[in-house]
Amino acid sequence: MKSVALIVALVASAVDGGAPPLEQARHWLRLGVPHKALETLQAAHLAEPRPDQPLHAGILGQAAAGAGEAALAQRALEPLRDHPQLPPLARLAVEARYLAVCTLPCSRRPIPDADVQAAPLPLQARLLTALARTDAPAALGLSRTLERSEPWKGATPGWQRAELLAAMHTAHTAAGDTSGARALAITAWETVPAEPAVSTILGALPDEVVAAEVGPARSVVHLEALLAANRNDDVVRFGELLCRTGVTTATAVCPALPDELRCQAGFAVGKAQRQSRRYAQAEQTLSVVAERCPTQAPRALFLQGRAMVAQKGGGKRAMAVLEQLAAKHPDSNLADDALVLAGETAARNGLRAAAHKYWGTVVEKYPQADLHMEAGWWLAWSTLEGGKTAQALTRLDAICKEADGKNKPLWRRATYWRARLTSEVKTARNRMTELVEKHPGSYEAALARGWLRRGGTPARSGADLPAAPPPLTPPAALDAVTASALALSSVGMDEDAALLLRGSALLTTGARTDGADLWVAQQMLAVGDAAGASQWVRRQRAAQLLGAPMAETAHVWQLAYPPAFAAAITSAAEAAGIPPALLFALAREESAFDPRITSWAGAVGLTQLMPSTALAEALSLKLQKPDHVALLDPALNARLGAAHLARHLRQFHGNVALALAAYNAGPGAVARWVERKGDAPLDMFVEQIPIEETRGYVKRVLESYSIYTLLRGATPLELPEKVSDRMLEL
């Protein structure tokens, strides 16, 4: 069988062979392939240290360390340890890398506790691990200093807290402090039990032993940490162990636990049962939680209703439970959600009058609710499906007026269908054109462009972006973390720079008024952290991404839709014969470009592959069987995800919408939908996808696909008229 080396070969085709060797090596380091970086330097006779060239020193040191050439890495990094232009945090990063490779015994520079405490958790973890190797007593002292702030309780990502806990555990173990090491292992068990960084540590801690040792309160924290990490099977198993006599009885929730913990545990298990598709069990568990736990009752009833909806013949039971939620808890923020879901359930069961009643109640009685206008949309759509086009148009007119300026996504949807249904061609053309010009990257604009072209009036793109926006102006003053990040980047230590940039003080609410946050995001992009840049801008600049891309918002759009993992995704797409823009869009919506993420259903990595799917695609490509860790590699994950998407595209005659639906819901479900409604227009077919998650997913990925083509100056996406129309040739 071919190995993952094939993936490296594919990625190599995307590395700029015309760039100087030092930059090529730096690019390989960003891709996480240090041995290729070292080979590049060796081929260019650049594999000997040059103390007077800091950039060369940083790149060579990292490449040699990653390739296992410790002595060479030590010699290369040595001059950077005291480099006068590196501020304290930057020197700390250099010291961590140096201590990780130096020949024992090796000299150590003073490491002030204050500098370490100011560093991000991954850098603290790296330094602690290196210190444990070279100076165990110093590592133990530093670990104890850091432990006082209890960093595992912070809001930082779980993988960062896990790496630091693992490093602390290593420091205590190296110094012979077994009791301290065990206490840290139990803390990891309690707070980050699903993170790969602590898996080895936790392997020696049986759940039943730890639970008996720490008591019910900390055991419930462990249970909820498993739930937050989408380890649903583990939640159910441990919940049953914790409750002993059963998670629920006919009259009680988890009776083995103290009163204040019973409902937390019961709700966690019920939610995990639903998420792991044990719908009947979830229904039973959540029904008792809803009855016995007033605080959890609204959430329990809502999830109970969703569990019933997923069962064959459970629709009417679900409607009754959702109606009960709204009646008993009218002030809950889930009351309108429950009625909208009840309406969708009634509609799917052919109970149109009941559906209208539920949605009408939301429209009339919940004017401030977040789903108020959404309920109005469903009323309009159901009226249209019932053949009452004129009445549907009236409702759509009302939605357009109410949503204008308040809910742009709903305005787009209502405007498209209002134009699509009218018999006045000129009015329809004007509205479709307005939609394209105001929201050119949207899913609805892609539909409108197709409609306009079929009518003989192709639309302009609607975007007004420079090909390459000029660099943003740096802020007048930089905080210590940001300054250290730039210094690290200047010596080629991009990974360390990216870690610091995510902790920049300029990423604050106040700084956004002068564009400082965008400048920091641009620096993230420059050091290869496109995922971090994209996620920040998507969260903090969301309002600017709802209209048309313009020159003044060019940076926002380019950063929100970056070419993250460009070499891996481009190579994977080309190998599979699909447009790179489509694979960028899929990865963006599946994982937000976070290659470490695991979904509640168990999907892993950049393109969110289920392990069984990844195995099947690896076998078809004659690659080695991928384990969980291998699937966290962006290059391999992108290759397998691209192959899987291409398989669906071939099955569904190159129709991207159908292929995306199959990627999310499975090809069997899509084949059944096509069999029942394959003669419907494509826009109608997508709106009638019976699974809400899949319906929204198809629209989001098509929208991102459209925006990626738009921002890069390619022909804007136009969606076809029919389900049977081919969009791509494979």
Give Cα separations from 677 to 460, 690, 724 (angstroms).
32, 11, 11
Backbone angles phi, psi at 89, to 5 degrees: -65, -35
CA-to-CA distance for 17 and 223, rounded, in angstroms?
Answer: 50
E-only strand ranges, 604-718: none
Query: What residues does 327 pair with on adjacent strands?
Result: none
Torsion angle (degrees, nearest 10) of CA 9, 11, 14, 19: -80
CA angle 523, 525, 531 (to 5 degrees): 130
In this structure, the number of other CB atoms found within 10 A of the CB of residue 17 comes to: 9
Element (H, E) at 188: helix 178-191
Q: Reply yes or no: is the peptide bond before residue 105 cis, omega within 30 of 0.
A: yes
CA-to-CA distance for 156 and 145, rounded, in angstroms?
Answer: 19
Dihedral sign of CA atoms 484, 503, 513, 494 in order: positive
Among candidate residues 195, 283, 589, 590, the one labeled active-site is 590
Type of residue at 333: N
The DSSP string of 390-432 is HHHHHHHHHHHHHHTTT-HHHHHHHHHHHHHH-S-HHHHHHHH
Torsion angle (degrees, nearest 10) of CA 164, 166, 171, 177: 130
Tokens 């896990």 belong to residue: 162
Distance between alpha carbon 421 and the CA centroid of its chain, in Å?
36
Burial (0-12, 13-18, 19+ Cβ within 10 Å), 592: middle
Q: Residue 101 corresponds to which tokens in the numbers above?
A: 């490779």
The verdict on whether 590 is a catalytic residue reads yes
Q: Residue 331 corresponds to which tokens in the numbers above?
A: 């002030």
Closest CA to 403 of 439, 433, 452: 439
The DSSP string of 500-554 is HHTT-TTSSTGGGGGTHHHHHHHHHHHTT-HHHHHHHHHHHSGGGGSS---GGGH
Query: What residues does 681 pair with on adjacent strands?
Result: 722
CA angle 157, 158, 164 (to 5 degrees): 100
237 contacts: CB under 8 Å, gap ≥ 6: none
CA angle 131, 137, 141 (to 5 degrees): 85
Residue 226: half-sphere exposure toward Cβ, Cα within 13 Å: 26
Report which DSSP code applies to 491: T
In this structure, the number of other CB atoms found within 10 A of the CB of residue 627 comes to: 12
Give Cα separations from 679 to 419, 433, 673, 683 (angstroms).
21, 27, 10, 12
Q: Residue 130 corresponds to which tokens in the numbers above?
A: 């290196």
Type of residue at 149: S
The DSSP string of 229-248 is TT-HHHHHHHHHHHHSS-SB
Q: Residue 328 corresponds to which tokens in the numbers above?
A: 């008993």
Residues marked active site are found at: 590
